[in-house]
Structure 1
Amino acid sequence: MPDFTNCKRLPGYAYNGANGKKLAIEYHGERYVLKFPASDLGNPPGCSQPNSCINEHIASTIFNMAGISAQETLLGTYTVEGNTEIVCACKDFTWNGSRLFDFCSIRNTVLDSPHSGTDTELEGILDTIRKQQYVAPEELLRYFWDIFVMDAFLGNFDRHNGNWGFLYHDDTQSITPAPVYDCGSCLLPQADEQVMRMVLENPEELDARVYRFPTSSIKQAGRKINYYDFLMAAANPDCNAAVIRMVPRLHMDAIRAWINGVPFLNELQRRFYQKYLATRLEKILMPAYLQLAEHPS
């Protein structure tokens, strides 16, 4: 696996975000963002996410496997003062001169909206999508709901307004949805091997992490959306259309086979990721999909 320790640093680039440190490097002539595992240091107790880098790589790749453009990622190592860590290298999709604008920034340009840029209430997000003038609302609505359905599959608890958005292309003066990025909060990044073993051996523990949590960071009536309840309610036609589009693209045999080749994982971890994803597909997405297929609107 690549060792990024001696790669050239690029001091002209810096990246924000709350989970883990980030470093810009040059690797094989291209710009990458190295993401380091989030730790308890400087955070409240229990905020450690030791699997965030591995989960970033797995979730980003599964987005691409499902036909949704996401950042390209590599797993490797980086050594600081004798301590070697597993890191995720994310290819910088702004390398060609494009500029990234997150959805929070776009929301602040909608002057007649009563909602702030950081507000994650679903009603306000959909209102901004309809009113913004950067991307065709129909295209952006499709993009938003496709990501939502994939986040339901991957168990993402942190898709807020600051980690999805648009690319502005200076050469053509056009704007397109950005590749999906910042997926380290998928797949239970706080789960250590003890939790993984418990989830694999106890169906009630597994069901709790499917039906009850993690929830979406998007809210409805002030409460974070429960993925299962929301998809089974089938109250939003655009979300329903995304379920019909996305579920047939999720091929568990291919995902299992790919996870078998992910570096740095032991057998317990491989079994956990495969079981967790298969169960979320079986118990959240498939019931919603079959319900819509049997009773199309």
Structure 2
Amino acid sequence: MKIVDLRDCPASGLFYGGRAGQKEGILVDGVPWIAKYPRTTRDLQGKNLPPYTSSPVSEHLGARIYASLGIPVHETMLGYRNGKIVCACKDFTFPGKRLFEFKDIKNALSDDDGGFDSAPSDGESVFLGDVLATIETSDLLRSVPGVLERFWDMFVVDAFIKNPGRSNGNWGVLMDASFSYELAPVYDLGSSLFGKRGDSLARRRMLDESDIDQDAFGTNVSCYRLPSNDGRGASIHPFSYMAQTVNPDLDAAIKRFMGSVDMGRIDALIDSVPAEAYGRPIMSEAVRASHKLLLRRRIDEGFAPLLARIVEREG
């Protein structure tokens, strides 16, 4: 895997939002890209954190894993700029497209619409039922092919790569100049694959079987929630939820995933990340081994039993 020298790329004059570290608009061969920098950990809670997160590497690996599954995802590359390893993400709105995030579309719903656990127009609500009701209720989302399938594909793959950062604000649709809409590619994957974990913690947690199981499944929490008596919602642990839920759309997404995943290809992708470049560390051998171990554990002990139950149910 090549780490591209981005030091001489000019600023594009475009600016991008988000809370997970610096984002800089740059031009690569005249085309707008976003340089996503590692976030400092000085304001983050937790022991044994490295000075900066590995979120650029997580962004790139998460995107390439999505691509290996045949799911449209934004174009990324790892690069070096301003003394740091960054993930450059091609601006998929260029030229002439506008991104409408799911929360924006949900915010257009009438509060008179039924079937919601909170106000339909609350774009930030992550009650799972509200998200699904929005997909069923919104005229726009009903008109765009593949929205429900994309939602469940992301639910499944985000569980596989442990991406807790999915929200109503980082998936949606693109509109072109003719007011035609299409699904945006999957993007914003910097929280996946334990992006805040350093070498020493990765090494230590691989020594204990209960820690491995906890990292593979126990700490794997979705952004989506289920209704609860206190009104705040109950966390969804995706593997427990998938095991306890009979939903044909979710079942279809699990079957698509298991029919496409190639662990040999994913291992090779992880192995292709260099240990260092430009004098900066990128991926230690402990982190590399941890990624491969946890992903395989989720296949063997998570998705394989889920698929077997689906096949048995379907006869």
Q: TM-score scaled by structure 2?
A: 0.87
1:77 equivalent to 2:83? Answer no
Residue in 2 aligned with 1:95?
94
Mapped contact 2:199–2:284 kept (Cα < 8 A): no
Counterpart CA distance in 2 for 1:156 and 1:213 is 11
Residue in 2 aligned with 1:274?
292
Change in Cα spacing, 1:59 to 1:49, as seen in structure 2 (3 Å) is farther
1:3 equivalent to 2:14? Answer no
Residue in 2 aligned with 1:54?
57
Counterpart CA distance in 1 for 2:105 and 2:180 is 15
Deviations 1:106-136 (A, max 9, x none): 0001113423100100011011101112233
Residue in 2 aligned with 1:185?
191
Written as runs of structure 1 = structure 2, the 5 A alignment for 1:1-297 is 1-11=3-13, 13-41=14-42, 43-46=43-46, 50-79=53-82, 84-112=83-111, 113=113, 114-115=119-120, 116-136=122-142, 139-170=146-177, 172-221=178-227, 222-263=233-274, 264-296=282-314
Deviations 1:169-190 (A, max 9, x none): 11x4211110000001111112
Give, in angstroms, the shift of residue 236 of structure 1: 2.3
Mapped contact 2:193–2:291 kept (Cα < 8 A): yes
Mapped contact 2:159–2:220 kept (Cα < 8 A): no
Report runs of 4+ in structure 1 exceeding 6 Å deviation.
none
Identical aligned residues as a percent:
32
Structure 2 regions of 5+ residues with no counterpart? 114-118, 228-232, 275-281
Give, in angstroms, the shift of residue 49 of structure 1: 6.0
Give, in angstroms, the shift of residue 269 of structure 1: 2.5
Deviations 1:182-206 (A, max 9, x none): 0011111121111211232221111
State the SS of the aligned residue for 2:181: strand
**Equivalent AA in structure 2 for residue 181 of structure 1:** Y
State the SS of the aligned residue for 2:4: coil
Mapped contact 1:102–1:161 kept (Cα < 8 A): yes
Counterpart CA distance in 2 for 1:291 and 1:195 is 35
Structure 1 regions of 5+ residues with no counterpart? none
Counterpart CA distance in 2 for 1:241 and 1:230 is 15
**Equivalent AA in structure 2 for residue 148 of structure 1:** F
**Equivalent AA in structure 2 for residue 73 of structure 1:** T
State the SS of the aligned residue for 1:87: strand
Give, in angstroms, the shift of residue 102 of structure 1: 0.6
Counterpart CA distance in 2 for 1:240 and 1:49 is 38
State the SS of the aligned residue for 2:174: strand
Mapped contact 1:234–1:288 kept (Cα < 8 A): no
Counterpart CA distance in 2 for 1:49 and 1:283 is 32
Mapped contact 1:49–1:189 kept (Cα < 8 A): no
State the SS of the aligned residue for 1:8: coil
Give, in angstroms, the shift of residue 44 of structure 1: 4.5
Counterpart CA distance in 1 for 2:234 and 2:190 is 22
Q: CA RMSD of the aligned region, Å?
A: 1.7
Q: TM-score scaled by structure 1?
A: 0.93
**Equivalent AA in structure 2 for residue 6 of structure 1:** D
Aligned residues: 290
**Equivalent AA in structure 1 for residue 147 of structure 2:** L
Give, in angstroms, the shift of residue 31 of structure 1: 1.1
State the SS of the aligned residue for 1:95: coil
Worse-superposed segment, 69-78 or 194-203: 194-203
State the SS of the aligned residue for 2:206: helix
Residue in 1 aligned with 2:116?
none
